[in-house]
Amino acid sequence: MSAASKKYGIPRTTLVEKRSGKSAINATNGRPLVMSKEEEDTVLKYTQYRVQTGHPIDRITVLAIATAVHRKHCEANGIEPKFNLTTGPSNNWWLNFKKRNGICLRKPDPLDRARKNSIDKATVQDFFTQYQDILDKYGLTNAPHRIYNADETGFTLDPQRKKIVTFKSMSGASSSVRAGTRDHISIMECTAADGSAIPPLMIFSKCFPSSAYRLDGPPNALYATTPAGYIEGPVFLSWLKSCFHRFATQERPVLLLADQHSTHMSQEVIEFAIENDIVILTFPPHATHFLQPMDAKAGPFRALKDKFEKVLHQLSVAKPNFYVTKATFPKIYRTVRDEGLTMAAVRRGFKNTGIYPVNLDALDSRWFHMNDAPGATSENATVSKENSNVARELLQEELDVLALAARAVQAQETPLMTERTRVMRGVSSLT
């Protein structure tokens, strides 16, 4: 026993306990789990199912589901519950459950229903086939400096502030003096797969600033106005002629990737593009949030927005009564653009969307699972047979959880109903 302990680095007492049967061979370190591994796996699979289908759940709902699953397990095996089924598992269980399964709490990214319902892998594959054909036809496969992506993003002059520091003795949240404006400014950026960028287009709402705003803005930037501060057909055509045609590489043809907004595909735009060897390819509808390089995770727009918030924070610290105006925005955006729109961020956007280098596998596969029907077995299904079976089980588990949640609510409750029990009642009402 001592020789084995030294050879394998296992304490002698551990070997003695295993041999005598005092400790199971497959026992793990630490205190025993409150819920069995099978129970936790059920909760975990259901949570994953909700995330993959675009309907993630919060901490309170996970705890309600865990309570319902544990109740079912105890009733099926004739054992006593290991925690109060009215109040649910403790916060320590939740913290350890998160740690064991790599779970974290984040704010979800909004995704409208039209985008979710339009996500189809076959459509995306057709787009990549068409895209590759264009690259081959015009000799662009090894010419990243001739592959461009143009897109717009918006900035408000009075952005919502993050959480602020206040005092418990105050009756309510501290008041924050605001500029009182809701003006919106749109920015169109156009970058190439080699990391370069051409001057931006800045669109003001209603009218131009009254001061010499152009002097401090990005070099060679183009400025325009529209009633709401969003791009319109004539403005895009002006940008194509005065900015893109001028500052893009003069080696033609060039490829311009854009969304299917009506302003990008007017008759005037198409005619000018044909005359000047500009090939315009649009992304599939409602798929730009994961296909467009400018919108990519850790891509250019994300870097610009993060830098914009950081610069505003620094300015507000230095001057508490500072407000962003139309006149000051170009100067601020120049600083943001110089530091945020880097070649690394641009290249990362093209890479993460599989646009350059061309790689469909670079896309996050979760986008293609959102509309999969549980148990689907057609050729267009994006889940394997094994995952399809899991999906069928999870759908039944979901129904079981809803039924068990309804039964849990019928249990004896304290006069002060807990938030977790209220969630159970809300979930049960869906049935």
283-314 pLDDT, tens digit per residue, is 988 788 889 999 888 889 999 998 998 888 88
- pLDDT value of position 368: 65
| Overall residue count recorded for the chain in this entry | 431
Task: Answer whether residue 16 shows pLDDT above 60.
Answer: yes
Q: Give me the pLDDT at residue 153, please.
A: 94
Q: Are residues 272 and 421 in the same domain?
A: no
Out of 368, 399, 414, a domain closes at 368
Range of the domain at 297: 120-150+192-198+210-215+244-368
Is the domain of 101 the same as that of 126?
A: no
| Residue 137 vs residues 133, 148, 172, 254, 265: alpha-carbon distances, Å | 6, 16, 64, 12, 22
Mean pLDDT, rounded, for 236-251: 96
Mean pLDDT of 424-429: 42
- Cα 157 to Cα 142: distance, rounded to the nearest angstrom: 41
Exposed / middle / buried, residue 348 (Cβ in 10 Å: 0-12, 13-18, 19+): buried
| 161 or 265, higher pLDDT | 265
User: 362: alpha, beta or left, given left = phi > 0 and alpha = psi -120 to 50?
Assistant: alpha
In a domain, 182, yes or no: no
Same domain, 265 and 293: yes
Domain count, the chain: 3
pLDDT value at 281 more than 70: yes
SS3 label, residue 280: strand
Confidence of residue 393 (pLDDT cuts 50, 70, 90): very low
Output 54 or 264, whichever has higher pLDDT.
264
Q: Token pair of 353, please?
A: 């969307």
Pairing of strands 197-205, 222-226: parallel
Q: Report how many helices (DSSP H) and strands (DSSP E) the chain contains, helices first.
A: 16, 6
CA dist., res. 281 & res. 284, Å (int): 10
Helices (H), 21-151: 37-52, 59-77, 91-101, 113-118, 121-138
Q: Cα(99)–Cα(195) distance, rounded to whole angstroms?
A: 38
pLDDT tens per residue, range 164-196: 666 666 666 555 555 546 678 999 999 999 999
Domain annotation covers residue 322: yes
**Nearest-angstrom CA–CA distance, 155 and 203:** 10
Provide long-range contacts, Cβ within 8 A and 24+ apart, for 94-99. Answer: 94/59, 94/62, 94/63, 97/40, 97/43, 97/62, 97/66
Look at residue 234 in the predicted model and tell me its pLDDT.
94
Tell me the C-alpha distance between 425 and 282, whole Å.
46
Q: Are residues 23 and 102 in the same domain?
A: no
Q: Are residues 282 and 364 in the same domain?
A: yes
CA atoms within 13 A on the CB side of 15: 12
Residues 314 and 425 reside in one and the same domain: no
Q: What is the mean pLDDT of residues 324-341?
A: 92
Question: pLDDT by residue (tens digit) across 346-391?
Answer: 999 999 999 999 999 998 776 666 555 444 443 444 444 444 444 4
Give the strand pairing for 197-205 and 184-192: antiparallel
Rounded to an integer, the average pLDDT of 127-134 is 94
Query: Does any domain span residue 180?
Result: no
What per-residue confidence (pLDDT) applies to 68? 85
Q: What mean pLDDT comes out for the span 231-244? A: 95
Judged against a pLDDT cut of 60, whether residue 333 lies above it is answered with yes
CATH number at residue 350: 3.30.420.10
